[in-house]
Structure 1
Amino acid sequence: MASKALQSFILSFTPPPVVNPVEYDGLEFKWNMFVFRPALFKTELYLVGGVLFYALWSVINARINSSRAKSWLNAYLPLYEAQFSQPSLRGLTADGSSDYFNFSTGRRNIASLHTIFALCPRHDLLQWSYQIGKTFIDLYYRPTDEVQLDFTLAPGALSSEFVWAVVAKDELLNVKNDRWDLSFTKTTENATLGPTFMVMSEFADVTDNLLKPLGNVNLLALLQDPKVRPYFRSLSITDQPRERPSAPLAQSEREKHVILNLTLPSSSSGIEATKDLVSSLFVLIDNLNKINLRPETRNKLKKIREDLDHNLKVDALKEKKEEIEQDAQDKKAAKKKAEEDRIAKLPAAEQHKIMEKERKRAIRKSQTKSVVRK
């Protein structure tokens, strides 16, 4: 009976035998004892065709992504070469087929520049289809090709400590969700910038200083350029990390950044449109120490950061205390479990003695508690 059940179980996973029709008038290939009839392999043909289409789609769109990133970097490489002693270490580095990076260093006031390309995953048909489908459900979701220029400032390049940003209105929600440092700011409109931009600033004094000419650069005029607006996503200057730290940062770990986010253009004219903005950022960084904040503004900014460090320290100590308590509970539970396992292996008589001993101990404890209460 068991063998028949096993045989039936095995047969349920066995594919049915191939039955070749006796009469066949389709295309046929013969070679010695081998016969191949294509009409009998329609399903396999569709599967192979699907796999080939997916592979071809991946290869072509991976090359499209790579070409877009290389085109932008090649167009801006002369500017990088003029600004940095090491403008393109290791060239364009790929992380998969949708993320690319370039690292530049060797300039006064700038410790490094990370150029980061985040492109749509066109090479992955399923993921790309998911993103396209999501746009019909979530009206705020807009998958786009982006390039980010993250300037890490050298020590002393910016003496003031503040967080400030100007953001395209349709990018505001993404920025608020992705950037912890911008939670320090208040979001307001600015009449001089126009209705398409929002300013995120800790104090109006910071905004006033940044939107007036600094040295040879006029940030306000650059942002009002109609050629720049279609590609501009955000520009931020920050002394805080983009993710909330778990503890106060040591002085050596504190960095200041200027971060520019652009939509990656697909045409050469679009690539050229933002060159003035990008080249002017180098001049802006060289003049950041000319920002002259009012003493009361500096004091308020300093107080905010002192309070932040205090809160981070308190939270870190609380978290450490909870971890210690959890470790103690885990050790206690493990010790109890080990003792229960040891008792379970003893003879019944020994187990009975231990259980009786525990019962008497519990009675004494309850009697002691009753005496204390009286």
Structure 2
Amino acid sequence: MARTPLTLAALSTAAVPGLEVVATREHTTGEHGDYDAALLKTAEGRQLIIRVPRTQAAETEQAADLIALGALSGGIRSRLPFEVPTALGQAPFDGSRAVVYDFLPGKPLELERVHGEIAVAAGQAVAAIHSLPSGFVLEAGLPQQTAEDAQRAVMTVIDRAQQTGSLPAALRSRWYQAAADQSLWRFLPTVINGALSADSLLVDDTSVRAVIGWSALSIGDPARDLAWVMGAQPDAAEAVFSWYEMGRQVAPDPRLQHRALLHAELDLARWLMHGHELHDQAIIADAEAMLDTLVERVHQNGVDPLEQATSPVLDAAEVEQLLSDRPGHAEGLAPVEEDSASDENVDSQRSSSSDDE
């Protein structure tokens, strides 16, 4: 049952001692019911937000987000050209917990708005994240992934998607060939947000004001934070990547866009797996339909599997459009974690299925 704004306002005073709330209203952020949230106005005129998870996945995400925000010290935040949320307090509630944050300015970025100054700001914002020193991530005990780890993780996603029995053979082949291409995985791991999407970027007319959603903060493949860009118009995507590379001020990664495209396509596989994990036939059918659309694009374009000359298989914004407005797309899809059992099975599964995906 949804908690009312008044209930959440009362919870906020328990989470933040001395807090005086004078007004409240429901806050909807497109999180598809994963959280109950309310905007709060304090006696000093300050705006805050309180969020309470409604699902186990959201509770896990919230816990990881709090650890990440704690690792983002004042010194680290000062290196970023945008604001990052601050958790002000929390209180246990109904088997979960309510967390109060400062309310950050801006509206979630819409892909059709990725052009001009916004494209510049988006590229620079991602570059700033990837330019952070890695020490604070290591000190916080957050995950770190080598290029080889990233390659294995992608193989694991493909294998697990194959195990659902719903992955088209054309896509399995396309993705396996990309994952096995050693040149694709010659990159320098960086600090990454790990779950970045267009919705993570809060913007005004010309700039990125804030970045939210830090639950997957880690060291890993920078292309993961740029997968969402592949849903923008081609010229806009090129602008984001260009400004990103200028902001990094390091040697360009010649396969960055190819890995970003691979990650974007694998989000469809993650959505399929999410449906199977929940035993939700509606999600499964939806994911299967999206994968079929991707297969049609592969066949229509006759594109070689994610090679150097590859352009996005889908028309501009189609991957993002296919995934947008699907419950749990942003928050419900946790990164697939490697474990020893899954690693041991990867090679055997791949060899046993090499006659098919």
Alignment TM-score, normalising by the size of structure 1? 0.24
Which structure has more relative contact order (CA 8 Å, sep 6+)? It is: 2
Instruction: Work out which of the two has the higher radius of gyration on C-alpha atoms and give 1 or 2.
Output: 1
